[in-house]
Amino acid sequence: MRKDIVTNWLANTGHTLTQSQLASLARYQELVLSAPFNLTAITNSEDFAIKHFIDSYTLLPWLDDMKITNCIDIGSGAGFPGVPLKIARPTLRITLLDSLLKRVLFLRAATQELGLTGVECIHARAEDHVKQKGAAYDLATARAVARLGKLAGYALPLVKPGGVFLAMKGPDAAAEIEEALPILHKHGSAVESVQTVEISQEIGRSIIVIRKH
């Protein structure tokens, strides 16, 4: 793992990880890459650090400022951004939700090996999970490739009134935001802010902050 890349980026944004947390990230990278099925096409250590770990940590300022206590990562896949966020903020209660059972079984085994507590790994679709849990979460995140309107339709029913959906999109998200407005209105929500974060010299990430009223 390229710890130097992660620690330098975090330092530039006013965050740090302990050596123990960095060791957990390194072990998590090993677990993802050694899984018996393909969890990511990113195998280069530099790209892994930037496109998985740093990308996940673009959400840290909101977690800290909003004093989030529980979070759901929708379509968690290989565990990004959920697992790195949990490693960085051990008191955060987090649900990793995915519709593919083998990914959920991997996440359960990996988080157990890392000794992470307060993590729930759920095999379900978001629209089914909301029937069981309702609007139970302070924060929902999604890094999926679906359009914003579709993601918002999954995420917002799971968010408490006053809570937030953080959508992780590409650097130019204006068209998707405009397209998603009817869905946001339907769920009593609005875009609070959009911030572009540089995760490397070549790659930018838009964090769309959607507040549920």
Tens-digit pLDDT string for the chain (213 aa): 999 999 999 999 999 999 999 999 999 999 999 999 999 999 999 999 999 999 999 999 999 888 888 999 999 999 999 999 999 999 999 999 999 999 999 999 999 999 999 999 999 999 999 999 999 999 999 987 789 999 999 999 999 999 999 999 988 889 999 999 999 999 999 999 999 999 998 898 999 999 999
Q: Tell me the CA distances in angstroms from 144 to 2, 14, 34, 58, 74, one per residue in order.
A: 24, 27, 22, 15, 8
Single pTM value for the model: 0.95
Residue in the block written with tokens 């990914």? 103
- The Cα–Cα gap between 63 and 85 comes to 9
For residue 50, give the DSSP letter.
I
Query: What tokens were used for 22?
Result: 């960095």
Torsional class of 147: left (φ above 0), alpha (ψ -120 to 50), beta (otherwise): beta
Do 32 and 39 form a contact (C-beta atoms < 8 A)?
yes
